[in-house]
Amino acid sequence: MSFGENVKKARKSKSLSLQELSDRCGVSRSMLSQIERGEKNPTIQVACQIAEGLDMTLSQLLGEDARKEVIVIKKEERYIYKDEHSGFERHLLSPSFPSRGIEFILNIIPYKKASGIFPKHKKGVKEYISVAKGKLRVKLGNETYDLEEGDSMYYEADIEHSFTNIGHEDCHYYLVINSNNVYL
């Protein structure tokens, strides 16, 4: 199933109209309609906004659900989402389960590029970052933090956040999103 089909299925299962989902996620009704019909491929930020509006993780919305006790994800089988505009890549390294939980992700930001602004998560969502290669600027609301290879950080993700490559090569960083203690 395509991303748009997954959005439509999730929206209908929650008995939301296009306008109700638009109000919840901040994406226009017409854009949502185009995404559902497969006419538009959203940026990663818009895809995250839609997932938040549906009370889902992006991985769940992408259809990466798995229900086995032991799950092996081979490199060539992992889900990779690439933002065609910025070149930002999101590699899902963990399975996504139907209920909120933990996602393990490798993000790659090309030289001199940025992720764009990610929407606030629900209260209780926590994110952990570790820079594997390059230099990364993390902006949380109005605060800015510069990280280098080997640096890590933790923050509560109920604030707008963005990531910028401030090094001289592609920046690779691991992101863990913990949604286990979400307050609805």
Asked whether residue 1 carries a pLDDT value surpassing 80, the answer given is no
| pLDDT tens per residue, range 72-124 | 788 888 888 888 888 999 998 887 665 557 889 999 999 999 998 888 888 88
pLDDT for the residue numbered 70: 72
The two structure tokens encoding residue 87 = 């070149």
- Alpha-carbon span 63 to 1, nearest angstrom: 8
| pLDDT tens per residue, range 140-181 | 999 999 999 999 999 999 999 999 999 999 999 999 999 876
- Give the domain ranges of the chain: 3-61, 75-178
Homologous superfamily of 3-61 in CATH? lambda repressor-like DNA-binding domains (1.10.260.40)
Q: Positive or negative, the Cα torsion across 160, 181, 155, 135? A: negative
pLDDT for the residue numbered 61: 83
Q: Could you tell me if 99 and 177 are in contact, meaning their C-beta atoms sit under 8 angstroms apart?
A: no
DSSP assignment of 48-94 equals: HHHHHHTT--HHHHTT-B---SS----GGGS-EEE-TTT--EEEE-S
Burial class (CB in 10 A: 0-12, 13-18, 19+), 101: middle
75-178 has the same fold as 3-61: no
Q: Among 116, 106, 115, 41, which Cα is nearest to 75's?
A: 106
| pLDDT tens per residue, range 5-33 | 999 999 999 999 999 999 999 999 999 99
Q: Among 79, 177, 77, 184, which Cα is nearest to 128's?
A: 177
Strand 89-92 and strand 102-109: the pairing is antiparallel
75-178 in CATH: which number?
2.60.120.10
Lowest mean pLDDT among 25-39, 49-63, 125-139: 49-63
